[in-house]
Structure 1
Amino acid sequence: MTHTIVVDLGYGDAGKGRVVDLLCAESDVEAVVRFNGGAQAAHNVVLPDGRHHTFAQFGSGTFRGVPTHLSRFVVVDPLALAAEAAHLASVGVRDPFRLLTIDADALLATPWHRAANRARERCRGAGRHGSCGLGVGETVAYGLAHPAEAPRVGDVLDPPRLRSRLAAVRDRLTASNGPLDAPPLDDVVAVFAAFRDAVTIVDSGHLGGLLASGRCVFEGAQGVLLDEWFGWHPHTTWSTTTFANAETLLAGARAERLGVVRTYTTRHGAGPHVTEDRALDLPERHNGTGAWQGEFRRGHFDAVAHRYAVDVCGGVDALAVTHLDAADPALGICPEYANGWTRIPVGTRGDLAAQERLTNTLTGTTARGVYRPADRVTEIEAVLGVPVVLGTDSPSGPAVLRRALVP
């Protein structure tokens, strides 16, 4: 049995949800496993009948009836999860929570994490790092600072311990940030109790059972170019966005590595985007300027940056290419930067100072040699050295290109 790991080889928004939905529609899938990120994910799936949902914590196979497992690497936000479940129910998914299991060891995001995240980002003014404003990074940072006391999903099964840990989050984050825009402790405890009663909380052995029972699709969040260690610091996510977490969870089980790219490179918010071209006419149905993320930016296919993503991942077995119907005749592929780079050097994990120097270099360079190939799929295969096995165009249409996944 071979499982599949789906990872975005850009800055996010490449179409992972669309790809996961297609994989779940085309074959039997035991579960979609989320292995990083949290409520800040926004994976849009539009069915042929027009139903649309932006998947955040639920897996993008939910419309197909495929269960979701939130692994220990996911930051779980009960308030956002309830809102997402309500929307899924409104578009025809019966009792979404019956399709969900959650690892007891996953971190819990709270309203105080969210409020502290927004307070810190506001204080940065024009130097914002870029954030979805949902407190995922704040939750991870708190977990690293207070590993023995950080609220986890399993704590909802022990109400006194949960209350104590939530109170500690409130007090610590208020002490460091000032008054926070968050509800009273009792209200949060009540919501988390409702979460406890709605979901199925499991131990670490549950995933092993899923892997043994059938094929699983591991759905990543954000993109490799936003990785906490290898992205352009500080414009990154507090999450490992490569295949690494999924492969840890697989514990040696066989899996194919599927990388997702658009036919053009996008970035939502602050940070380097070397091939950005504001003259490109590329309409976007599901992404726009957000209060926290900022502007949705479009550019030519950045072969240099996507090669870097492949290198950071240690290789990719196959590619899925989305937005094949992008129609601007000026849209092209960038093979090289003005500083002469055709490949971005891969640094050492944990060396954030080096990544920040890289950010400064990329901020000061531009694209060079942009060209328009006759066949974008073939050219993307060539410039990244990876076969394309899946291609899509419209958000709700069928796959327009499908080949066997690489063993």
Structure 2
Amino acid sequence: MDRHVIVLGLGFGDEGKGAVVDALCHDRPVTSVIRFNGGAQAAHNVVVGHRHHTFSQFGSGTLSGVPTHLSRHVLVEPIALAAESRALADLGVADPLRLLSIDADALLTTPIHVAANRAREDARGHARHGSCGKGIGETTWYGLLADRGAAPGQVVEGQEVLGVPGPPPTVGDCAHPTALRAKLDALARFYAPLTGDGFAVDDLVALYRDFAGAVRVTTGDEVGRLADRGPLVFEGAQGVLLDQWRGFHPHTTWSTVTPDNARALLGRRHATVIGVTRTYQTRHGAGPFPTEDHDVLARFPERHNDTGHYQGSWRAGHLDAVLLRYAVDACGGIDALAVTHLDAPDLKVATAYDAPLPTDPAADLTAFLTHRTPLLTALPDPLTWLENHLGVPVLVTGAGPDRADYAVRAPAPR
């Protein structure tokens, strides 16, 4: 295993990335956990004895005392982050914010973005995309508009521009109230046709000024500085099958889930890419799911996931080797696997569908997957089967929810 490790999900999210990151941080000294995509919609569960926390913006190495750096690719929601800090303090983490640093260029997710996100999803009715309702897509979308010189009436990434956009607010703006107020005023005006104008911008400015004083805001190549000090674990959010470029639209996230952001942050430094998969398939909310099986859902009750008002219902089915291979290829390959939920018995795997996956880049994969029938076979030994199928070793295993159920394995000699 290289000095640095990139952990990402090979499914539709909820693969067990948080527990894998926790296991890696507990196994060896780690300088920092680096978040390289997503935002406050992440929900990574870590259980250590009687302590359980669902990590959202803090890195999942926090219970091992490992600091977190939120890179410029992360969307930062200060109100939710403060609440998460209090929850960690209640679990015995001393002054959690001292463990946190944030890139000044990271975009801010505000209550205005959240309200706009929920208004759009509500308007879709039964055609909902499966958004988490946390403002992630709106934060990313608004950030695109100024760069593209968007004007009212234009359509950008499938959404009509309703007003005149301004520069997006960033974490670095929080320490500069005048500049921040101007950006928030422009944001509120822009979204008023969708959300109304009931936002107290002055209150947000005061809150974000306090936030800037409570966390360490960094500029320049902070990841490079940390990498030169010691090993880093890069913690991905969501799953590759939800990636904004390689996922199945419109049921995708506004985020690059593949290792690209992490590799860019590392520069020329090498890292081991670990793809995480359950022994069976899951997804949250709307979208195609060829191996979905209500018997699997009934047999494997979920402790830490449930139906979300915006995200939709929790779903489960058999392991899908077709989509697993698709995810690995979307990453440009991986170096190793982490396999979770090894305590699940009587497993099956879809080795193919009733029709081959289209290779034409213009093919509508969402429509294709919606109508597929999987060809299932027994999966007696998941570790051996997955290693043989993907040609990479399993370096982390999980056979239960607790840290004690996880093991970091030594790689086989080459």
Other-structure match for 2:151: none
Q: Is the 8 A contact 2:291 2:320 kept in 1?
A: yes
2:152 paired residue number: none
Shift of 1:372: 1.5
What amino acid maps onto 2:85 in structure 1? A
- Equivalent pairs, count: 392
* Structure 1: 5+ residue stretches without partners: 348-353
Q: Distance in 2 between matches of 1:346 and 1:231?
A: 15
Q: Which runs of 4+ in 1 moved over 4 A?
A: none
- Partner SS state of residue 329, structure 2: helix
Which residue of structure 1 lines up, in the alignment, with residue 37 of structure 2? Answer: 36
1:201 to 2:217 alignment: yes
Q: 2:69 is paired with a residue of what secondary structure?
A: strand
What is the distance in 2 between the residues matched to 1:261 and 1:308? 13
* Partner residue in 1 for 2:295: 279
Task: Find the residue that maps to 1:299 and give its secondary structure.
Answer: strand
Taking only the aligned residue pairs, the percentage that are identical comes to: 54
State which of 294, 303, 308 in structure 1 corresponds to 2:312. Answer: 294
Partner of 2:284: 268
Q: Deviation at 1:374?
A: 2.3
What do you get for the CA RMSD once the two structures are aligned?
Answer: 1.5
Question: Within 5 A, what are the aligned runs for 1:80-91?
Answer: 80-91=80-91
Q: Is the 8 A contact 1:304 1:344 kept in 2?
A: no
Aligned-partner Cα distance in 2 for 1:223–1:337: 21
Q: Which residue of 2 aligns with 1:391?
A: 397
Which one-letter code corresponds to 1:162 in the other structure?
Answer: L
Q: CA deviation at 1:382?
A: 2.0
* Residue in structure 2 matched with residue 130 of structure 1 by the alignment: 130
Query: SS state of the match for residue 305, structure 1?
Result: helix
Q: Give SS of 1:134's match.
A: coil
Alpha-carbon offset, residue 189 of structure 1: 1.4
- Does the aligned pair in 2 maintain the 1:305–1:344 contact within 8 Å? no
The answer to whether the aligner puts 1:345 opposite 2:375 as a matched pair is no
Say if 1:346 and 1:237 are closer, same or farther in 2 by CA, change over 3 A: farther
Deviates more, 1:52-61 or 1:379-388: 379-388
- TM-score normalised by length of structure 2: 0.92
| 8 Å Cα contact 1:308/1:345 also seen in 2 | no
Contact 1:303 1:384 in 2 (8 A): no
The alpha-carbon deviation at position 157 of structure 1 amounts to 1.6
Matched residue type, 1:365: R
Equivalent position amino acid for 1:113 in 2: H
Structure 2 segments unaligned to the other structure (5+ residues): 148-165
Q: Is the 8 A contact 1:312 1:346 kept in 2?
A: no
The 3 A distance-change label for structure 1 pair 100 and 274 is same
- Contact 1:267 1:298 (8 Å CA) reproduced: yes
Q: Which amino acid aligns with 2:58?
A: F
1:161 alignment partner in structure 2? 179
Instruction: Tell me the SS of whatever aligns to 2:237.
Output: coil
Equivalents in 1 of 2:123, 2:57: separation in Å?
28
Seen in structure 2, the aligned counterparts of structure 1 residues 344 and 47 have a Cα distance that, compared at 3 Å, is farther
CA distance in structure 2 between the aligned counterparts of 1:287 and 1:76, rounded to whole angstroms:
23
Aligned to 2:94: 94
Tell me which amino acid in the other structure corresponds to 2:212. Answer: R
Distance, in Å, in 2 between the alignment partners of 1:374 and 1:110 is: 48
Instruction: Find out whether 1:222 has 2:238 as its counterpart.
Output: yes
Seen in structure 2, the aligned counterparts of structure 1 residues 134 and 93 have a Cα distance that, compared at 3 Å, is same
- Indicate which of 365, 369, 393 corresponds to 2:372: 365
Q: Is the 8 A contact 2:31 2:66 kept in 1?
A: yes
CA drift of 1:188 comes to 1.3
Counterpart amino acid of residue 105 in structure 1:
D
The answer to whether the Cα contact below 8 Å between 1:10 and 1:309 also exists between their aligned partners in 2 is: yes
Instruction: Give 1:401 deviation, angstroms.
Output: 4.9
Given the alignment of the two structures, is residue 46 of structure 1 paired with residue 52 of structure 2, yes or no?
A: no
How far did residue 106 of structure 1 move?
Answer: 0.4
Distance 2:144 2:209 in 1: 25
1:388 CA drift (Å): 1.2
Paired amino acid for 2:390: L
Kindly tell me: are residues 298 and 388 of structure 1, through their superposed partners in 2, closer, same or farther at Cα, counting changes over 3 Å? same
TM-superposed deviation, 1:183: 3.9
Work out which of the residue numbers 328, 331, 334 in structure 1 matches 2:350: 334
Residue 351 of structure 1: aligned partner: none
1:260 is aligned with what amino acid?
V
Matched, 1:238 2:254: yes
Aligned residue identity for 1:288: D
- Distance in 1 between the 2:309 and 2:32 partners? 34
Asked whether the 8 Å contact 1:311–1:346 carries over to 2, the reply is no
TM-score norm. by structure 1 comes to 0.93
Q: Any conservation in 2 of the 1:59–1:68 contact (CA below 8 Å)?
A: yes
Query: Which residue of the partner structure matches residue 350 of structure 1?
Result: none
Determine the structure 2 residue equivalent to 1:117: 117
CA-to-partner distance for each residue in 1:355-403, whole Å, 9 max, x for gaps? 6x110111111211x1223211111222223221211111114255543
Using the TM superposition, give the Cα deviation of residue 197 of structure 1 relative to its aligned residue in structure 2, in angstroms: 1.4
Range that drifts further, 393-402 or 51-60:
393-402
Kindly state the Cα deviation for residue 2 of structure 1 after the two structures are TM-superposed. Answer: 1.9
Rounded to whole Å, the distance in 2 between the matches of 1:397 and 1:81 is: 24
Q: What one-letter code is carried by the residue in structure 1 that aligns with 2:384?
A: T
CA deviation vs aligned residue, 1:215-243 (integer Å, no higher than 9, x gap): 00000000000000110001000000000
CA offset at residue 405 of structure 1?
Answer: 4.3
